[in-house]
Each structure stands twice: as C-alpha cells, then as structure tokens.
Structure 1
Amino acid sequence: MKSSYYAIVYLVLLAGVFPNQVNCVCWQDVALAAGGAVVGVVAAPVVASAALGAAGFTAAGTAAGSAGAALMSTYGGSIAAGSAVSVMQSAGAAGVGIAGQALGGVVAGGAAYTAGGGKCGKHCD
C-alpha cells in the first residue's frame, strides 16, 4: 500500500498539477490525478496479468503456439536475463510487482489529468 502513496505523490509532482503560480492550487486537478492514480495502482496487476496470459506468458511457462512462443523463437534459443521475453514471462508468472503498480498509477493518473485537468490557468474553484 505504501507504493500507491508514492505513486500518487510522484504523479502529482510529475504532472505539474501544482502550477508556477503559488497562489493557485487547483484541488480539482489534484483530485482528478490522484483518483486516476489510485485506479491505475489497483487495475495494473489485473490488466497486466490478463494481457500477458492472453499473449501466452503464464505461471506454467510460455504456452505453445502463442504469441509469446513466436516472440521467444526470434531469440534463437538463448533468452538473456532482462530481455523482453524474460521480463514478460516473469511478470506473467509472478505478477507485475510494486514497480508495475506504480507505473500503472502514473500512467492512469496522467491520462486522467490530461483528459480533464489543467483548469488552473483558466479557472480554479
């Protein structure tokens, strides 16, 4: 749970929710970005597991005949640690972990802010 707080704080700072004008803090934008970040932190493991499972990266290994197997075959039989295939197989088997949740929070919060934020320059209640 601690990681979700860090993701939200990072998002708020990164997205520039606090403008250069010290006298205007648009709490609507802060709430929008923070809410999106919380949704992203919660949804990231579910979405990533489903997507990786559909691609063939499962807890039992890479499924034969899947997109993951096709990608694996392009490596010529030697999969290096840290390569795209090894990272996806690891995440498919064990989940995305704290870093994946934080990334999901940053992406979802940033998307929410981009879609509906930025009101401080125009009007801030």
Structure 2
Amino acid sequence: MLGDKLLVAPVFSDDTALFYLPEGKWTCFWTDEVLEGPRWVKKTNYPFTQIPVYVRENTVLCLGPEDIGVPDYDYGSVGLHVKSYALNQGQQVTVEIPSGKGKQWAGKVSVQDGKANTEGTVSLA
C-alpha cells in the first residue's frame, strides 16, 4: 500500500502480476477496470513496463502535467487534472494541494457528483 488510497503491486515475472486487493472497490489507474476485494488477483500477459496501480473507492487524485519529468513545480499553479474514483453518490471528497514550499498549502479541491470546486490558488486543467 502507498498510503491508504493506492495499491502498487510489484511484477516478479516477465508477464504475470499476482497481488492481493483488500476489501472494497478498486480501480486500475491505467485502464479504469474496477475490481472488488478482498481477493487475490492474477493478471497474465501483463505488460512488463506497466506496474499494477489500483485506487481505492472514494478517492480523488490530483495529477500534474504529463509533460513534466520531475514534479518540483508549484502544485497550485500548473493546471492539475482531477480524477475521482468510485465516489458514493452525494459524497464530497476534499484534497489539500501543497504549494511545494514546505508546509504551506496552495488550496483545496473538493469533488462531489463528478464536479470539482477549488478553494485557494489552485489551477485546474
């Protein structure tokens, strides 16, 4: 587990990924396939260049630009892409966005029913 919202599984063979998903709904970061846990998952013919990453339900990820190699930018002003995963209807999830300057926050992003609202100096793509 990478925190309590992301599961990152290693691939130990050329084409097979075997990992355990804890209880709940999990969405593949790469394909948006939704799987239900708890259970073991075995994926054959798995691309060696794509590590399994699954996102827990009721999660909001704020992703920076794809064309920046090193994420050492001001998170509040680069044009974040907000992606929500299996939010319960009517539920609001709020994420604080770091400024990239120590313990300061650039602002917050709240997502409810597929709509993102910002607070502070956060720029969305």
Alignment TM-score, normalising by the size of structure 2: 0.21
* Structure with the higher fraction of residues in helix conformation: 1
Q: Which of 1 and 2 has greater Rg?
A: 1
- In terms of fraction of residues, the more strand-rich structure is 2
TM-score with structure 1 length normalisation? 0.21
- Which has the higher relative contact order, 1 or 2, with Cα contacts under 8 A spaced 6 or more apart? 1
